[in-house]
Chain A
Amino acid sequence: MSQDPLEVLSAFMDGEPVAPDALAAALHVPGARDALLDFAALRAGLAADDSRPSPALRRAMDGILGRRAQPVWRVLRGFAAVVVLALAALGAVSLGMRSRGPTADEPPRATRVIQFTPGVDWHEGVQR
């Protein structure tokens, strides 16, 4: 299955690996030059805007990409991010519980453990 030429160009602009023959084919597609210029303008806009994309930029992207479904790897990357965040949240909750220390029914954690030695300071029988 052949890739969308504009997606190939977009991936190339993003620095992602692109097959040379797919890139060569995409550059011959009508409108490829304009698309590259649009992508360059988009990158310049992104560099200037460190917050969220403006609605105008979003509309420009929709026009260029035609609201196509996101590739599977992008969905997976988003899912992985959600999982990492969830694990981090769980870890934070766990750390918080630990740092609160023992509960009312749990003795404090000892800083020193002392052993009795049978025959030396521990003896069979009942203390007199």
Chain B
Amino acid sequence: MRVKTAGTALSVIALMVTTERRVIGDQPTWPRTAVLQFRVLASWTGGETNEIGTFQSGPLGEGGSMSASMQVGTSPAEDGSACRSAVTMSPFQKTAEGPLPLWQVEGKVQQAGMDDIRVEYAWKRQFAANVGSASEAAYRGTTRVTEGGRVLLDFVPAFEVSSGCWRNLALELSASIPEDPSFGARRIAYDLWLDSQGHGDRLTRRLQLIGKQGEKVAFDYGTFRSKLPVAPPPGKDSYVMEMTVTGSVRGRIQPDGSIEILFTANRGAHPSDGAWFRGAYGAKKVRAAPGETLRLELPAPNQVDDHDNEPATFKALAEQHVALILTPTIVE
């Protein structure tokens, strides 16, 4: 085989290898769903805060909505404590009963993205007529929550002292992405490298992580030091910079076999004497084929006004290229 022909063949093979594990486009084409949870919290007198009742919707597509009523009540305790809590929940409108609040809630999923769920919500607090001094209230709004994030919607102080149970009650909202039963038990392995190069030195560190489908897995590479080719501080032999890289990765196997990944990273830097600290963070959502290797370049810290007398330091930092190299695979 002639050399030119061999080179062409190698190029074609290289192209095939390069494109073999690519996922075209980062936006899925299948419908997404989210689950909404409205939760009543209670702080016991002299005790801590607990959940006493949660109404959870079924999977709602984008544009899907739900409503519910949550009536808070108490009943005599049998174990010697002051009282027993009870939250009566229904998907239908109810009339308030007793001295404790009834919350009428509505929720609508606007967007069901990974770690980015946008919800339009409304709540109304009602009481039975002529009971207590608490007032009725209502609110309508929108919010953006992460998976596992919470939004406090309403707070009611301890108005029913006679109950002897609670100092206050609260209503909160959270949302989650329901897992596809086909993949719910699967796990994803993340081979994650830190690669720092600059000024003739290269440092690599490797972490091997495993997370369940949709589970957020944190990483922390600790502190790594490098000597910058700049004038050392007074009394020092060299200018040593300490850098940190932390973050998290959340992956979810998709119906087409690809893995949707939400990647967050934080890059910090400070001189070893701790004179200042500069940090930055970011998040990327990508889709990758299992086994595909992604390189995420982390921008260098920007110069800060307070340290304008160190332009050489930030120039040297900018020459320090830091990247995270991620290869996700599905654990068989």
A positions within 8 Å CB-CB of B: 105-116, 118, 121-127
Among A110, A111, A126, the residue within 8 A (CB) of B281 is: A126
The answer, yes or no, to whether B116 is at the interface (CB within 8 Å) is no
| Contact, CB under 8 Å: A111 / B18 | yes
| Contact, CB under 8 Å: A121 / B283 | yes
Among B193, B279, B292, B325, the residue within 8 A (CB) of A125 is: B279
A100 to B295, alpha carbons, bound, how many Å?
20
Report which residue of B264, B280, B292 has the largest number of chain A beta carbons within 10 angstroms of its beta carbon: B280
| Contact, CB under 8 Å: A115 / B22 | no
Please name all residues of chain B whose beta carbon is closer than 8 Å to the beta carbon of A108 when the two chains form the complex. Answer: 191, 193, 293, 325, 327
| Contact, CB under 8 Å: B293 / A109 | yes
Task: Name B148-188 residues within 8 Å CB distance of A.
Answer: none
The answer, yes or no, to whether B204 is at the interface (CB within 8 Å) is yes
20 A-B pairs whose Cβ atoms sit less than 8 Å apart in the complex = A106-B204, A107-B193, A107-B204, A107-B325, A108-B191, A108-B193, A108-B327, A112-B294, A114-B296, A114-B297, A116-B296, A118-B280, A121-B283, A122-B282, A122-B299, A123-B281, A124-B280, A124-B302, A125-B279, A125-B280
| Contact, CB under 8 Å: B22 / A116 | no
| Contact, CB under 8 Å: A116 / B325 | no
The answer, yes or no, to whether B111 is at the interface (CB within 8 Å) is no
| Contact, CB under 8 Å: B284 / A127 | no
Among B278, B284, B293, B302, the residue within 8 A (CB) of A121 is: B284
Given that A108-B325, A110-B325, A111-B18 are known contacts, is A127 also in contact with B281, CB under 8 Å in the complex? yes
| Contact, CB under 8 Å: B293 / A111 | yes
Chain B count of residues within 8 A CB distance of the other chain: 33
Report which residue of A108, A111, A123 has the largest number of chain B beta carbons within 10 angstroms of its beta carbon: A111
The answer, yes or no, to whether B57 is at the interface (CB within 8 Å) is no
Name 5 extra pairs, CB < 8 A, besides A107-B204, A113-B297: A109-B293, A111-B22, A114-B286, A124-B280, A124-B302
| Contact, CB under 8 Å: B302 / A118 | yes
CB distance from A56 to the nearest CB of B (A): 38
Given that A107-B193, A110-B325, A111-B22 are known contacts, is A123 also in contact with B297, CB under 8 Å in the complex? no
Given that A123-B280, A126-B281, A127-B281 are known contacts, is A114 also in contact with B264, CB under 8 Å in the complex? no
Please name all residues of chain B whose beta carbon is closer than 8 Å to the beta carbon of A107 when the two chains form the complex. Answer: 193, 195, 204, 206, 325
Given that A112-B295, A113-B295, A116-B299 are known contacts, is A122 also in contact with B204, CB under 8 Å in the complex? no
CB distance from B116 to the nearest CB of A (A): 12
A124 to B267, alpha carbons, bound, how many Å?
10
Please name all residues of chain A whose beta carbon is closer than 8 Å to the beta carbon of B325 when the two chains form the complex. Answer: 107-108, 110
